[in-house]
Amino acid sequence: DCVERGDDTVYLTTQAVDEAADGHPELMGHPLTALRGDFELRPSLVGNLVPQQVNLWMGVSRGGASSGLHHDFHDNLYVLLRGRKRFRLFDPSASPRMHTAGRIVRVHANGRIVYAGQGDVRADGAD
């Protein structure tokens, strides 16, 4: 209701997820678990990629908002249901010339960035 009214004081961000029986995090948390039947988990667009996590962000901003320059560790599929969002994408090879919050020690061929203190992180994110 708040979002429908245009209330820009509310924002839904990353949700807590439970731990699965195998000790890994569940794929998604509430409220996405309640919406699970409303979307395809593996649409044909993603090919052989296997979802590691499903998140939901929701909010309203009259004056615009920014998620700031950042990078994610996994492939992403972004679905915008209403409004607009502008993405500025940078090649991972540009990361040494950016002002990062950590010291970059390696950029894997797939774009996975490893920072000092993270250990020997593989391209798939495992260590």
Domain with 111 in it: 90-127
Q: Are residues 101 and 44 in the same domain?
A: no
Residue 115 pairs with which residues in a beta bridge?
A: 104
Model-wide pTM > 0.75: no
Q: Are residues 33 and 72 in the same domain?
A: yes
HSE, CB side, 13 Å, CA atoms: give it for residue 67: 14
Q: Are residues 14 and 63 in the same domain?
A: yes
The string of pLDDT tens digits covering residues 27-81 is: 898 888 888 899 998 999 988 888 888 888 877 777 777 778 888 877 788 888 8
Q: Are residues 6 and 41 in the same domain?
A: yes
The string of pLDDT tens digits covering residues 1-41 is: 776 777 777 767 777 888 889 988 888 988 888 888 999 98
Q: How much is the pLDDT for 86?
A: 87
Q: Are 26 and 20 contacting, i.e. CB atoms less than 8 angstroms apart?
A: yes
The string of pLDDT tens digits covering residues 98-114 is: 988 899 999 998 888 99
Measuring CA to CA, how many Å separate 6 from each of 13, 63, 119? 17, 12, 45
Q: Are residues 75 and 105 in the same domain?
A: no
Taken as a whole, the chain contains a residue count of: 127
Q: Are residues 76 and 102 in the same domain?
A: no
Q: Are residues 77 and 95 in the same domain?
A: no
Q: How much is the pLDDT for 125?
A: 79
In angstroms, the CA 67 to CA 64 distance is 10
More confident residue, 91 or 81: 91
Q: Are residues 64 and 96 in the same domain?
A: no
Count up the domains in the chain and report the number.
2
Residue 125 makes CB contacts below 8 A (sequence gap 6+) with 73, 74, 112
Q: How much is the pLDDT for 44?
A: 92
